[in-house]
Amino acid sequence: MKHLTLPDGTRLAYADQGAGTALLCLPGLTRTMADFTYAKPHLAGRIIRMDYRGRGGSSWTGAASYTVGQEAQDALALMDHLGIGRFAVLGTSRGGLIGMVLAHLARLDPDLLKELVISPKGLRLVWLAEEADRTRYLAFRDSEMGKAPLPPARLEPLLNALLALRDDLKALP
């Protein structure tokens, strides 16, 4: 485990293994980088894992809580520290929310994010970045419909709400 000291003195724990296209793995709210240990043998490229502030091997500054925006900035600081300008993100639960913030920032800097894969509990969404025009869109994978805990009739309104959220995010500067 390595550490990056952020400007406010927080020590951010991370692991950096492999070579090639960088994949930043972001765990859920109360989880750590260890969640992705099982997946490492199945992932190719340069795998970057990190612990959020106050979790795992990272230090705690005494704050009552940290925001998704702060954690996204920490992720960017880590990638900058590692000299990685363009990367993919695999986010589970809260890591998916952080990934969506990074996707929003990628609208301002299209070379930042290669792709974003989000895996919230029970529903699999994939945010794909098309290389040609760098547009983002949500794709609901039909193959996952049968695996979700909700029947398709209940999933459809949820998917529509997420697509509306995507449109709202596009309207942000």
Same structural domain for residues 51 and 119?
A: no
Nearest Cα residue to 46 out of 71, 15, 3: 15
Same structural domain for residues 109 and 163?
A: yes
Same structural domain for residues 43 and 98?
A: no
Residue 141 to residue 25: CA distance in whole angstroms: 21
In a domain, 76, yes or no: no
**Rg, the chain, Cα only:** 16
Residue ranges for the chain with pLDDT beneath 50: 122-151
DSSP string, 86-117: SEEEEEETHHHHHHHHHHHHHHHSTTSEEEEE
Nearest Cα residue to 87 out of 123, 53, 50, 116: 116
- Residue 9, classified by CB atoms within 10 Å of its CB into exposed (0-12), middle (13-18) or buried (19+), is exposed
In a domain, 26, yes or no: no
Site of tokens 């880590």: 78
- Residue 124, classified by CB atoms within 10 Å of its CB into exposed (0-12), middle (13-18) or buried (19+), is middle
pLDDT for res 28: 84
DSSP state of 142: G
Instruction: Report the number of distinct structural domains present in the chain.
Output: 2
Same structural domain for residues 129 and 48?
A: no
Q: What pTM value is reported for the model?
A: 0.69
pLDDT for res 126: 36
Same structural domain for residues 100 and 145?
A: yes
pLDDT for res 26: 93
pLDDT for res 163: 60
Q: What angle do CA 22, 129, 124 make, to 5 degrees?
A: 85
- Is there a contact between 82 and 38 (Cβ–Cβ < 8 Å)? no
pLDDT for res 67: 84
Same structural domain for residues 56 and 90?
A: no
In a domain, 122, yes or no: yes
Q: What domain range is 103 assigned to?
A: 85-173
pLDDT for res 92: 86
- Is there a contact between 75 and 39 (Cβ–Cβ < 8 Å)? no
Residue 103 to residue 105: CA distance in whole angstroms: 5
pLDDT for res 144: 42
pLDDT for res 129: 36
In a domain, 143, yes or no: yes
pLDDT for res 143: 35
DSSP state of 46: E
Residue 8 to residue 53: CA distance in whole angstroms: 11
pLDDT, tens digit, 9 for 90 and up, residues 7-53: 999 999 999 999 999 999 999 887 889 888 877 777 888 999 999 99
Same structural domain for residues 110 and 162?
A: yes
pLDDT, tens digit, 9 for 90 and up, residues 17-26: 999 999 999 9
Same structural domain for residues 47 and 111?
A: no
